[in-house]
Chain A
Amino acid sequence: MATALALKNLWAAADRATQATTERTWVRWSLIAVAVLFLATFLFLPLAIVFTSAFAKGVSMYFAALREPDTLAAIRLTLLAAGIAVPANLVFGIAAAWAIGRFEFVGKSFLITLIDLPFSVSPVVSGLIYVLIFGLQGLLGPWLAAHDLKIIFAVPGIVLATTFVTFPFVARELIPLVQAQGNEEEEAALTLGASGWQTFFRVTLPNIKWGLLYGVILCNARAMGEFGAVSVVSGHIRGLTNTMPLQIEILYNEYQFAPAFAVASLLALLALATLIVKTAVEWKSTQHANRQEPSTAPAAAPTLTALPGVKAA
């Protein structure tokens, strides 16, 4: 009874639309319904299908599919590519953000455009560029062949392509952050006698760590999931140059649906884990931001009497 009454009051309050920006109740609920329906159709349903298809032939078949040597090789290669691309882009990203955020130089806007290039170009095109440069008929092809170096249709090509397409994530995340924070804290550290490295590790890095972590998470998710660019440079040699997304495609094309979805479920799990970590990082950084806000702590008013003597050098 009390609940019903409370609910009624709530509805009445909601209906009054107290704020100018609040929509009418039925408008709000229809919008929410549309959004939920959209999410269900395009996100939750596919996710559910991935997992049901993966387990369609039973749990033992699922794990057997994952233990298949070619699949294991694909997982290892994916981890290797991400393991190289993510740290490399972490360093590049910090360096680029630092340069763009702190210094004025000729060609700065060009550099910003360049950083965005991997986002604006189709991954297939970026893969093709590598083939044109490092391929047998490519620019450096004869020289590489003469020195017995294989890049295209080999692991180095996959690592290169992965690094290229994931380059913007860390830099993009950090540039606005570095610009907003300015360099007063670094200047303060400098006047206090800190060296460049000390300033970086003790002042700069702690200030950007949440943005950095966020960029790394997104970068990693894309590095493991990348298909287009990697597909062009890979050559699809089973057990050697197939990454997880490529392995899924091959299995699917061979009508091995259950194993294909089993590998796909791993990538789906990665996506879920990424979302969870991303949410945790966001939550943590807002916690951090809240701490920045001035609290209502009782302010000890400065009393102007009786200064204790301090001997300065």
Chain B
Amino acid sequence: MSIEAIGISKRFGQFAALDNVSLVIPSGELVALLGPSGSGKTTLLRVIAGLEFADTGTVRFDGHDISDRTARERRVGFVFQHYALFRHMTVFENIAFGLRVRPRENRPSKKEIQAKVHELLRLIQLETLAQRYPSQLSGGQRQRVALARALAVEPKVLLLDEPFGALDAKVRLELRRWLRQLHDEIHITSVFVTHDQEEALEVADRIVVMNHGRIEQIGSPEEVYNHPATPFVYNFLGNVNLFHGRLEGDKAYIHERETGHVVYVRPHLLEIDRQPNGGSHFRARIKHINAAGPLVKVEAIAEWGDPVHIEMPQEKYRDLHLTKDESVFVIPKDVKVFQNGEAPPQK
């Protein structure tokens, strides 16, 4: 089922949580709402779910205006950040809840409910824990139960609010891959909120980057990462070095002094060499080297005194034999220039 949210605004007192946001999500897509806290992403999700009502704007499911429908009538699957499992019910009862509260005429029989719950327990691989209480489960298990509970009512739309936010790093990683796999399996239109750019880039078909109650950019992970529309998106999706710069024709130059232009360079797009290569480059002194992990992270001080962050593969690092306090040349391979938040000219 497709989702359209058109011209949505929502204020909480003086604070504008959503400022005329419009978003169209085609049927079957897995979309991430990405942004820092306070960017309005959770509010947008709750407006779509009917847990919050917008001050202005329209929400449509499959083209039907459902702006005035309650959460109960919208029949969406909603997964909460802190699971919101019913603490006095077992895992089985939690998952069965949505089926058991149906009006008698379309409530499945006991046998059907049991079969459905067991099917879902198999799906989340917790068949043996049906009689446990939520408090007896780990965080990852609880979140999977919450997901099964939401899927039990066969929603046309699945909405997840920071689904992995409260989990530790390793479980997080496993669960988000599992979510991707699950989505590929059942193709339900899904929207999840996250502040973790890595999570959004890995899981989503499309990413909606939000900031200050507005949408900054909508695009595939590849698009938003490689062709960020605004300085905010560039900044938010990965580490970045900022330099003063100047444009001459279609060429960007890094400058020592304030120029009005800001040059953005990702750490892995800076190269270190012992000789200048004739192109654009600057001098820097190595201050700190962190060789743990797949990429070696080097912190250097540019000739004008600002810190510069550079990342390189391990092999490159071994070939160079870098040492601390050594003076080297830094060569930018690809930069992006923004002026006053305007769309960037490519290098």
Contact = CB atoms under 8 A, between A and B. Distances in A.
A307 interface: yes
Interface string A285-313: 00000011111010110111001111111
Contact of A300 (B87, B129, B151): B129
Given A194-B101, A300-B141, A309-B185, 14 more contacts: A184-B84, A185-B84, A185-B85, A189-B101, A190-B70, A190-B72, A191-B78, A192-B149, A203-B86, A206-B86, A294-B135, A300-B126, A302-B144, A304-B177
A297 B141 CA distance: 12
Nearest to B73: A193
B78 A188 contact: yes
A187 B78 CA distance: 9
Given A184-B82, A188-B80, A295-B136, A312 B188 contact: yes
15 contacts: A184-B84, A189-B86, A191-B77, A193-B75, A194-B101, A203-B86, A291-B133, A292-B87, A297-B136, A300-B125, A302-B174, A304-B174, A304-B177, A308-B122, A310-B119
Contacts of B126: 300
Contact of B132 (A203, A297, A311): A297
Interface of B: 49-51, 70-72, 74-78, 80, 82, 84-88, 97-98, 101-102, 119-120, 122-123, 125-126, 128-129, 132-133, 135-138, 140-141, 144, 146, 149-154, 156, 174-175, 177-178, 181-182, 185-188
A299 B138 contact: yes
Q: Which of B141, B187, B188 has the most CB of A within 10 A?
A: B141
A207 interface: yes
B102 A193 contact: yes
A198 interface: yes
A284 interface: no
A108 interface: no
A206 B141 contact: no
A102 B64 CA distance: 32
Interface of A: 184-185, 187-195, 198, 202-203, 206-207, 291-295, 297, 299-300, 302-304, 307-313
B71 A191 contact: yes
Contact of A302 (B86, B152, B178): B178
Contacts of B128: 300
A193, A203, A206, A292 — which one has the most chain B CB atoms within 10 A of its CB? Answer: A193
A310 B185 contact: yes
A304 B178 contact: yes
B120 to A, nearest CB: 8
Contacts of A192: 97-98, 101, 149-150, 152-153
A194 B49 contact: no
A299 B77 contact: no
Contacts of A198: 101
**Most chain B C-beta atoms within 10 Å of own C-beta, residue among A191, A193, A293:** A191
B86 A185 contact: yes
A192 B85 CA distance: 12
B280 to A, nearest CB: 45
Given A302-B174, A304-B174, A202 B84 contact: no
A34 to B, nearest CB: 40
A187 B42 CA distance: 14
A254 B127 CA distance: 73
Contacts of B88: 206-207
Contacts of B70: 190
Given A185-B84, A193-B102, A302 B175 contact: yes
B82 to A, nearest CB: 7
A300 B174 CA distance: 13
A187 B45 CA distance: 14
B216 to A, nearest CB: 28
Nearest to B51: A187
| Pairs A-B, 4 closest by C-beta atoms | A192-B98, A184-B84, A292-B135, A312-B186
Contacts of A203: 86
A1 B85 CA distance: 56
Nearest to B152: A192
A26 B174 CA distance: 57
B70 to A, nearest CB: 7
